[in-house]
Structure 1
Amino acid sequence: MKAISNISSVSASALCIEEIQQIESSVAQFGSPLLMLDCDIVRQQYQSLQAALPGVILHFALKPLPHPDVVTTLLAEGACFDLATSGEVDLVASQGVPADQTIYTHPIKRDQDIRDALDYGCTVFVVDNLNELNKFIPYKDRAEILVRLSFRNAEAFADLSKKFGCSPEAAIEIIACAQEAGIYVKGLSFHVGSQTMNPQKYVDAIDVCNQLMRDVVALGLPALSTLDIGGGFPVSYSHTVMPIDQFCEPVNAALAKLPDTTTVLAEPGRFIVAPAVTSVASVMGQAERDGQIWYYLDDGIYGSFSGLMFDEAHYPLTPLRQDNQCYPSVLAGPTCDSIDVIAQNILLPKLENGDLIVAKMMGAYTSATATDFNFFKRATTIVMNQHISDELRVV
């Protein structure tokens, strides 16, 4: 097999000495596979977005990483939270999050979902159609509504407006029907899509919402006080993205055109947690197939790398073993399913059984969507820098 020299894309030089020592000691203590959650990075990401969007109230979207230590870390930073299920209600309630620091943004809900949120004390909900609005007639004295608009975005990882949201014309109809039913409409919301690379998508949506808020007043309907600009703020996987402060400059300029009394919310998820988790997997076995070395890891598509199937995230991969000679290789997961392949046609040094593969940017849509398929247990999550204890904790 032909060796290829000096490949840098999978070099352990991407890791500092302290990181390598931390990884090796963690595997020695807890085994593999591991997910290493660094709460300091959660704090840093939250603070950087907060600085980039001054005056915007950030509600962390729990969906990408609904972990108790993420909740408590962000709560200590003064964050609010975006909920979408009764399970997420239970999580924030168990961690002492005040209900008035939450909103419930799933556009489609069962009656029990509404009651669970209201019983907790969360009163702000999202709707995008009349059928959903009518569910709040029994709760009109307790609930406040945001009407979600649709802004299609084929460039995003996930075009969330394909599934949710309505047109401005439909939004006016919903607002008018809400007034007749005695349901309070607090404002508007939108989500331009996950991993949105172009800030103009936010600007265009904000401008439409700004005009719609003015149209509502012109029609004699109650003025809207709130705009939720959703999430979708990009992070760097295999390609560098625009720095968040630069990305948000045009967004802030568009927000400045809103009426002075408008409260602006956002729902960041991936941006806060994606960089905060490092995955560590070990080589279970290996074989040569069609001129490439196949390395079988103890984590894969059905585990922490589940996002490769639906999220299009390309996680930076690094072997701890160093060698100038690299060979065409495949990284496969542990299950008996043939689709369980993490990376193909990559160049790696010759690895031994037990060698470690490290993946960065593993905080979003990884552990949250992992399974126990084939009875391979999910990766163990260890928590660092929570400041409750100086030691690593297993959760």
Structure 2
Amino acid sequence: MASSRSVLNFQSFTSQALSADDVQLIETSVEQFGAPLLMLDCDIIRQQYRALSNALPNVTLHFALKPLPHPAVVRTLLQEGASFDLATSGEVELVAQEGVPAERTIHTHPIKRDADIRDALAYGCHVFVVDNLNELAKFKAYNDQVELLVRLSFRNSEAFADLSKKFGCTPEQALTIIETAKEWNIHIKGLSFHVGSQTMNPQKYVEAINTCRVVMEQAVERGLPALSTLDIGGGFPVNYTKQVMPIDQFCVPINEALSLLPETVQVIAEPGRFIVAQSMMSVASVMGQAERDGQTWYYLDDGVYGSFSGLIFDDAQYPLVTLKQGDECAPSVLAGPTCDSIDVIAENIMLPKLDNGDLIIGRMMGAYTSATATDFNFFKRAQTVVFNEQVANCERMIG
């Protein structure tokens, strides 16, 4: 399974060489906290949030906690005026602990237990998502407390994760749900969709927006209440090892499609990866090494059961660099610490000769890394160190 992952080449990342300040900060952090580490920079979270806000000026951004549910991320975005997208009772608990006003949250998991609904309502979150009649029926007991969004499905084979494979309904099914909700006296607030994680083509959003606009028109034609909200989901792309379209350009056709909606429709979004992917670097150290099949295998103290879990399920391609410099590079393998042979980070990667204790740095490590890490084999997951949470004094904290 490890051999099926794409090959990384160290020399292709020389343009992303670390600055002297980065190197000093990494080395100082490892001296203080040890390795492995995840270094979270809240300034980058602010930068990414502001970039997307500027690119979608008429859209309310609800940060999706799923890729990086860290308290410092919540606090930073709360200071920026962000809203939040929740999917579980654990996420409800996190935002409640950090003082997020409930009116700035939505709960978008299409499939929920009754306890999930009750937990969210107790907190004060009252906007939920459904995509089928079975789910709609769960809200009969709460019809005077909730507003619902009906999620449509738009398949996207090009995305990292085609979320419409698992969730969403057809336009005709959506109209049936809206009609049934009227019979059950349940308020349908609007529609939602998610075109898939790391979507490279903005036309996917345009197509979905246009379809939702038609559904809204058809609902009125059928004598149903006018829909007031459209949730365009997340999926906005970021640079891993390949350049993607700048976000301001990416959103131009999206804004054009949104401008065709009735002025009474409020538009919201659920960005996750775009906000946090760039905000974190991983730092792993070489535990040991061996020569195998003409390559040097370097065994790190972090791997695919830890911070590099996205290599297994997320298809992420993390840029990797080492602090060790050398004129001669040789084909090498970076492996994780566990006793499982699948725990391989990169193969045929060109590296200088490393010593035990040398450091490997992963970039773009903010999304689906610490959030999906495990303690498999009792190797503890990387500690997160937070930088620049306080804008004025750049206070550091341990997460």
Q: TM-score, normalised by structure 1?
A: 0.97
**2:252 match:** 249
| Residues 232, 268 of structure 1: 8 Å contact kept | yes
1:210 matches 2:235:
no
Q: Give the aligned CA root-mean-square deviation in angstroms.
A: 1.1
1:265-344 to structure 2, matched below 5 A, reads 265-344=268-347
**1:170 match:** 173
Q: What 5-or-longer segments of structure 1 have no aligned partner?
A: 1-5
Q: 1:275: Cα distance to partner?
A: 0.1
| Of 206, 219, 222, the match for 1:219 | 222
Compared with structure 1, are the counterparts of its residues 258 and 328 closer, same or farther at alpha carbon in structure 2 (3 Å cutoff)? same
| Of 364, 367, 383, the match for 1:364 | 367
Cα distance in 1 between the residues matched to 2:269 and 2:53: 10
Compared with structure 1, are the counterparts of its residues 63 and 7 closer, same or farther at alpha carbon in structure 2 (3 Å cutoff)? closer
| Residues 60, 81 of structure 1: 8 Å contact kept | yes
| Of 374, 378, 398, the match for 1:394 | 398
**1:84 match:** 87
| Residues 334, 344 of structure 2: 8 Å contact kept | yes
Cα distance in 2 between the residues matched to 1:248 and 1:10: 28
Q: 1:23: Cα distance to partner?
A: 0.4
Q: Deviations over 1:170-225 (max 9, x none)?
A: 00000000000000000000000000000000000000000110110011000000
Return the letter of the residue paired with 1:176.
E
| Residues 45, 76 of structure 2: 8 Å contact kept | yes
| Residues 11, 350 of structure 2: 8 Å contact kept | no
Cα distance in 2 between the residues matched to 1:264 and 1:304: 34
Q: 1:14: Cα distance to partner?
A: 1.1
Return the letter of the residue paired with 2:146.
A
| Residues 234, 269 of structure 2: 8 Å contact kept | yes
| Of 23, 27, 51, the match for 1:24 | 27
| Residues 10, 321 of structure 2: 8 Å contact kept | no
Q: What 5-or-longer segments of structure 2 have no aligned partner?
A: 1-8
Cα distance in 1 between the residues matched to 2:167 and 2:251: 24
| Residues 10, 319 of structure 1: 8 Å contact kept | no
**2:37 match:** 34
| Residues 12, 321 of structure 1: 8 Å contact kept | no
| Residues 12, 322 of structure 1: 8 Å contact kept | no
Cα distance in 2 between the residues matched to 1:77 and 1:311: 28
Cα distance in 2 between the residues matched to 1:303 and 1:112: 30
Q: 1:394: Cα distance to partner?
A: 1.1
1:96 matches 2:137:
no
Cα distance in 2 between the residues matched to 1:365 and 1:290: 32
Cα distance in 2 between the residues matched to 1:195 and 1:383: 25
Q: 1:9: Cα distance to partner?
A: 2.1
Q: TM-score, normalised by structure 2?
A: 0.96
Q: 1:390: Cα distance to partner?
A: 3.5
